[in-house]
């Protein structure tokens, strides 16, 4: 019974495909961090990560290829970040990251390393290579930054501005 409880708790908090935190558990974590920042100060960086050219993989090679690529992206994100950083799959080809021990200056550097790592993924499906990229929007998590949905909206807007700028 305890093993089943552990499995159910894990399934409730993690994305079934990638094993990353899922949207609902990620939002709870963000709410806790926002509250901590209000009470104790400190700052974290939030990243909204959207994959570029991912739809073409699904369209040309099928959803099995897209799923395999999402797993590779999840591993790439985990490997590009520190163990204290939090990574989640929000849905589709959208991911989120909280840089927990980040000085504000670390955000752009970490974003660049993620972009480079995803661009350098060598993903081949049925003999066909696929190249994707990532666009990332950053927003601070600190006292006075607003509620979680406002932080996510700011990072989302920055992400789409980055995507529009190429």
The catalytic residues are 93
CA–CA separation, 57 and 43 (whole Å): 37
Contact (Cβ atoms closer than 8 angstroms) between residue 89 and residue 44: no
CA–CA separation, 44 and 18 (whole Å): 24
Coarse DSSP helix, strand, coil percentages of the chain, rounded to the nearest 5 percent: 50, 25, 25
Q: Vertex 113, ends 110 and 115: CA angle to 5°?
A: 110
User: Edge-to-edge strand order for the sheet containing 86-91?
Assistant: 86-91, 94-99, 43-52, 133-142
CA–CA separation, 25 and 110 (whole Å): 23
Contact (Cβ atoms closer than 8 angstroms) between residue 49 and residue 114: yes
């Amino acid at each position: 019974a305890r093993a089943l409880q552990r499995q159910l708790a894990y399934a409730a908090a993690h994305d079934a495909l990638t094993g990353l935190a899922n949207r609902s558990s990620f939002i709870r974590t963000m709410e806790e961090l926002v509250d901590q920042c209000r009470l104790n100060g400190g700052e974290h960086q939030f990243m909204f990560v959207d994959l570029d050219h991912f739809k073409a993989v699904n369209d040309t090679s099928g959803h099995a290829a897209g799923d395999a690529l999402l797993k590779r992206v999840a591993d790439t994100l985990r490997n590009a970040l520190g163990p204290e950083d939090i990574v989640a799959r929000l849905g589709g080809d959208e991911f989120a990251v909280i840089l927990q021990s980040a000085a504000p200056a670390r955000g752009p550097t970490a974003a660049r390393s993620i972009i480079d790592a995803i661009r350098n993924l060598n993903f081949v499906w049925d003999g066909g290579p696929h190249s994707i990229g990532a666009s990332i929007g950053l927003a601070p998590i600190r006292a006075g930054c607003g509620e979680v949905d406002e932080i996510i909206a700011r990072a989302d807007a920055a992400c789409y501005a980055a995507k529009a700028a190429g």
